[in-house]
Structure 1
Amino acid sequence: MMSKRSGVGLVLLSVILLAGCGTRQSEKDEATSQSRSSQSSSTKSVTDTTKVSLNAAIKAFQQQYPDASLTSIELEDQLGRPVYTLEGVGGTQEHELQLNGRTGKVISKHSERLDQDDQAEVENDRLNLKKVISPSKAVAIAVHDRNGGYASELKLDKDNGTTYWEVQVHQGKQQVEIKIDAQEGSILKTEHDD
């Protein structure tokens, strides 16, 4: 009798131990899966999570500041959400508007008076918004040029009469800034950050 009870006890103990090991393994598998999931989301380009189009962001700025011309548009990941920062000038005022890139809601807006030097540069700084390639197209060009990676931020700016996208691409620990002609889609310059 004792040996039957011992045998049943051993079988029950074995089943309990195996079930516990299986639970621990599935917990490890789940933790590994969650870690991979958070890794892949941190390596997504900012445009992958942006729902608000460039045109919608521009329209929001123009509604807030109807007499202003845009001088800079930036899209970057801030605390896990895409944020547009649009800057422009109108008359003697410089304006900044921040929008949530998922919802289009205004995060902040700010205006300040331009000094005389900045007022003289307004025409040179005004962005050419005709036939500008989209942020996602600019990111695709930059990432393709680097043979992979992801873009954490990009900025539409102007220099020497050329409106361009500056895309910041990450590949592992390396960071590269790629300037792309905003109308043509051609790469103008590549800079490696040390």
Structure 2
Amino acid sequence: MKISIAALKKPLALSAVTALTFALVGCSGSDEPAAVPPAASTSASAPPADASPTTSPSTAAPSASASASASESASAPAAAAGNDVLLAAGRLGTREVSAGSVSSIESEGNGWEVHVVTANGKEQQLRVDATGKRVVSGPTEDPADAEDRAENQQYAQADLDYRDAVKAIEGEIADGVVKELSLDRDNGRTMWEADVTAGSEQRSVQVDADNGDMVSNRIDD
């Protein structure tokens, strides 16, 4: 049997084309290296070279209103503190003189002069430091004649003591600082008389030592 050469050439040509196709497909498979993604840019997160540092809230300068509040707190009314010291000096006087009653407290130099009377008409004097808590000198007895002893006995029997008098004055003059407070007799009545500083004013005050009435409250000339 004779085989045609042309018939053999056709299958061989198809086989060559098929092999070439498979070779090309294999070359384009997974062996090809993957594309490398470009590196991310970091320029967006870096701060500018000339950027000025921001001020932290915790280190910010205090506002004007905060400074004003601090100033107001520092300059609280002096009345309460001033009268507290006077009252402390009075308490110290009554502790130093047994069964005594304060008849006067007066600001003197860097301290207070306190007078204390007893029911027998005697009078003791002592000096107290500026805090009202320490005795600087005394108590020493003040010489008293018959008239003085009679007055001292009346002072010792007054219904309102020095603390009541200060309370009455503070009720009348809210910002008043008592510089001097003493018992006296006026028209047959026992009075607490006080020199009071209220702001820029100097005032003279009288309080009835029996009932606490405000008898007078006037500005000194």
TM-score (norm 2): 0.56
Distance change >3 Å, CA 130–CA 124, structure 1 → 2 = closer
Unaligned 5+ runs, structure 2? 1-41
Counterpart contact for 2:77–2:175, Cα < 8 Å: no
Q: Does 1:164 align with 2:191?
A: yes
Higher strand share: 1
Larger of the two Rg values belongs to structure: 2
Structure number with the bigger relative contact order (C-alpha 8 A, sep ≥ 6) is: 1
Equivalent residue for 1:35, pick from 48, 64, 71: 71
Distance change >3 Å, CA 111–CA 51, structure 1 → 2 = closer
Matches within 5 A, 1:170-185: 170-185=197-212
2:191 and 2:199 map into 1 onto residues whose CA distance is: 25
Task: Provide the residue aligned with 1:155 in structure 2.
Answer: 181
Q: Classify the secondary structure of the residue corresponding to 1:47.
A: helix
2:138 and 2:113 map into 1 onto residues whose CA distance is: 12
Task: Provide the residue aligned with 2:48 in structure 1.
Answer: 7
How far apart are 1:167 and its partner, in Å? 2.9
Unaligned 5+ runs, structure 1? 64-68
Instruction: State the identity %.
Output: 15
TM-score (norm 1): 0.61
Q: How many residues align?
A: 176
Distance change >3 Å, CA 103–CA 153, structure 1 → 2 = closer
How far apart are 1:183 and its partner, in Å? 2.1
Counterpart contact for 1:154–1:165, Cα < 8 Å: no
1:77 and 1:99 map into 2 onto residues whose CA distance is: 9
1:44 and 1:76 map into 2 onto residues whose CA distance is: 16
Residue identity matched to 1:152: V
